[in-house]
């Protein structure tokens, strides 16, 4: 159909080259409009994504604004040496992996349970209503979640300190300066905000299951619990595996808002709320320690990249169609 495919067999070398060249120009002319269309998007990706990728060299430099980014002196691996000499690198890596690991596990289990239950609601209108409400927290910004948290945990006027704890005869707790509660609080907030999303994904997969399996099982006298265990869960297993592997591929990246807004950026809580993302942010914006911050950022990008590749490799071994590439 296109001119590009109609290159004749070469008679002589030069003649062929001329023809090839003219074919190239013909193709370019034919597809000129399509190439123009991609310009804004490609330009954007170059600025927003590719320039920063080359910007990772900052981690190996002693950034001096007067000299500019390219003109600053090279430091080699000094920034990384400093980073891994302190206990910071260990603490933020541990926090990031432990939090994300438990989020993946707990959210998946709860979301499957809720999705199965949603599918058991006989009145479809009510099922849709429940679904919308459970998804509501996913829709709002983390700043608002910070406010909701404050209305619960504010020391002087929070719902917990003023209404719940007095009822139980417990003294008020200064939530925002007691690190020991925060692993639980953050896990709870994360469940509250994100389970609805995962639940919708699993529900879509459950709805796709053929009803005949259940009918056959009912005739054979299988209980509801047996049906869930031997039909529903095995049949949505591919979705569960994919969602889990994708999440594991992103285990080095945290939900910055959760760890920044919900604890109100409180200093005393840092040992238990600091993750790689908050560490990088603080180094850049409050401490002005660009070297350390960019080293931690590159560490995250590289490990994250490897994890995505590994996760995708495992997915593609399990099911070629579900893999990203």
Partner 1 sequence: MNKNYMNQGFVHAIFIVLVSLCLFPFLLLVMASFTAEQSIVRDGYSLFPKMLSLDAYTYLWNESTALLRAYGITIMITVIGTFVGLLISALLAYPLSRRDMPMRGVLSFLVFFTLLFNGGLVPTYLVYTEVFHLKNTLMSLIIPGLLTNGFFILLIRSFFSTSIPVPIIESAYIDGATEFKIFYRIVLPLSLPILATIGLMLTISYWNDWFNGLIYITKPELFSIQNLLNRMLTNIQFLQQNNLGGNSSQAAASVPMNSVRMAMAVVGILPIIMVYPFFQKYFVKGLTIGAVKG
Which one of 80-88, 96-104, 179-187, 293-301 is the stretch in contact with partner 1 (CB under 8 A)?
Answer: 293-301
User: Which residue, 12 or 281, has its beta carbon nearer to partner 1?
Assistant: 281
The Cα–Cα gap between 126 and 132 comes to 10
- Contacts (CB under 8 A) with partner 1, residues 196-235: 196-197, 200-201, 204, 211, 214, 218, 224
| 32 Cβ contact partners less than 8 Å away, ≥ 6 residues apart | none
Residue with tokens 């009510």: 126
Among 4, 23, 97, 173, binds partner 1 (CB under 8 A): 4
**Considering beta carbons, is residue 14 or 169 the nearer one to partner 1?**
169
Among 102, 108, 265, 316, binds partner 1 (CB under 8 A): 265
DSSP 74: E
Cβ-based neighbours of 314, under 8 Å, separated by 6 or more: 245
| Chain position carrying tokens 């933020």 | 92
- Contacting range for partner 1; rule: CB under 8 A; set: 15-23, 80-88, 100-108, 304-312: 304-312
Q: Which position among 95, 100, 146, 175 is part of the footprint of partner 1 (CB under 8 A)?
A: 146
35 belongs to the binding site for partner 1 (CB under 8 A): yes
Which residue of 154, 187, 244, 316 would you call a contact of partner 1, by CB under 8 A? 154
Among 112, 142, 186, 269, binds partner 1 (CB under 8 A): 142
The kind and range of the H/E element at 61 are: strand 61-62
Tell me, by CB under 8 A, how many residues bind partner 1. Answer: 105
Decide if 86 contacts 173 (C-beta within 8 A).
Answer: no
The terminus-to-terminus CA distance of the chain in angstroms comes to: 30
For the bound state, the minimum distance from the C-beta of residue 102 to partner 1, rounded and expressed in Å, comes to: 19
CB of 11 or CB of 325, closer to partner 1: 325
Choice between 21 and 218, CB closer to partner 1:
218
**Which residue bears the tokens 């959210």?**
107
One symbol per residue from 180 to 199: x for binding partner 1 (CB under 8 A), - otherwise; what is it?
------------x---xx--
* In contact, 251 and 97? CB cutoff 8 Å: yes
Tokens 């953050």 label which residue? 186
For the chain, state the CA radius of gyration.
27
> How many whole angstroms separate alpha carbon 23 and alpha carbon 4?
6
How near is the Cβ of 59 to partner 1 at its closest, in Å?
A: 8
Residue 121 engages partner 1 in binding (rule: CB under 8 A): yes
Strands 61-62 and 73-74: antiparallel
Binding to partner 1 (CB under 8 A) within 56-115 occurs at 56, 58-59, 65, 68-69, 114
Among 15, 18, 29, 42, binds partner 1 (CB under 8 A): 42
Q: Which is nearer to partner 1, 87 or 132 (CB)?
A: 132
Chosen residue from 34, 66, 125, 168 binding partner 1 by CB under 8 A: 34
Dihedral sign, Cα of residue 85, residue 86, residue 90, residue 93: negative
The residue among 14 and 86 lying less far from partner 1, judged by its C-beta, is 86
177 binds partner 1 (CB under 8 A): no
- Using the CB atoms, write b or e for 53-68: b if 16+ within 10 Å: eeeeebbbbebeeeee
Helix (H) or strand (E) holding 62: strand 61-62
């Amino acid at each position: 159909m296109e001119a590009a495919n109609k290159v004749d067999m070469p008679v002589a070398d030069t003649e062929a080259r001329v023809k090839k060249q003219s074919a190239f120009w013909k193709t370019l002319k034919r597809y000129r409009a399509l190439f123009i269309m991609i310009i804004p998007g490609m330009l954007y990706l170059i600025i927003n994504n590719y320039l920063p990728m080359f910007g990772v060299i900052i981690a190996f430099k002693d950034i001096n604004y007067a000299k500019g980014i390219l003109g600053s002196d090279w430091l080699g691996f000094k920034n990384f040496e400093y980073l891994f000499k302190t206990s910071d690198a260990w603490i933020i890596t541990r926090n990031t992996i432990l939090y994300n690991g438990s989020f993946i596990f707990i959210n998946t289990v709860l979301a499957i349970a809720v999705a199965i239950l949603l599918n058991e609601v006989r009145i479809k209108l009510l099922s849709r209503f429940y679904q919308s409400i459970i998804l509501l927290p996913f829709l709002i910004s983390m700043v608002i979640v910070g406010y909701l948290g404050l209305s619960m945990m504010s020391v002087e006027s929070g719902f917990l300190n003023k209404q719940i704890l007095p009822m139980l005869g417990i003294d008020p707790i200064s939530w925002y300066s007691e690190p020991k509660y925060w692993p639980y609080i953050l896990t709870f907030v994360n469940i509250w905000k994100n389970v609805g999303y995962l639940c919708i994904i699993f529900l879509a997969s459950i709805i796709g299951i053929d009803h005949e399996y259940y009918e056959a099982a009912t005739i054979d006298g299988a209980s509801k619990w047996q049906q869930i265990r031997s039909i529903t869960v095995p049949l949505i297993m591919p979705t569960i595996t994919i969602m889990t592997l994708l999440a594991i591929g992103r285990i080095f990246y945290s939900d910055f808002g959760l760890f920044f807004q919900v604890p109100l950026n409180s200093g005393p809580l840092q040992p238990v709320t600091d993750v790689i993302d908050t560490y990088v942010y603080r180094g850049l914006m409050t401490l002005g320690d660009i070297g350390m911050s960019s080293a931690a950022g590159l560490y995250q990008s590289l490990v994250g990249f490897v994890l995505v590749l590994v996760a995708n490799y495992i997915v593609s071994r399990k099911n070629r169609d579900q893999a990203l590439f």
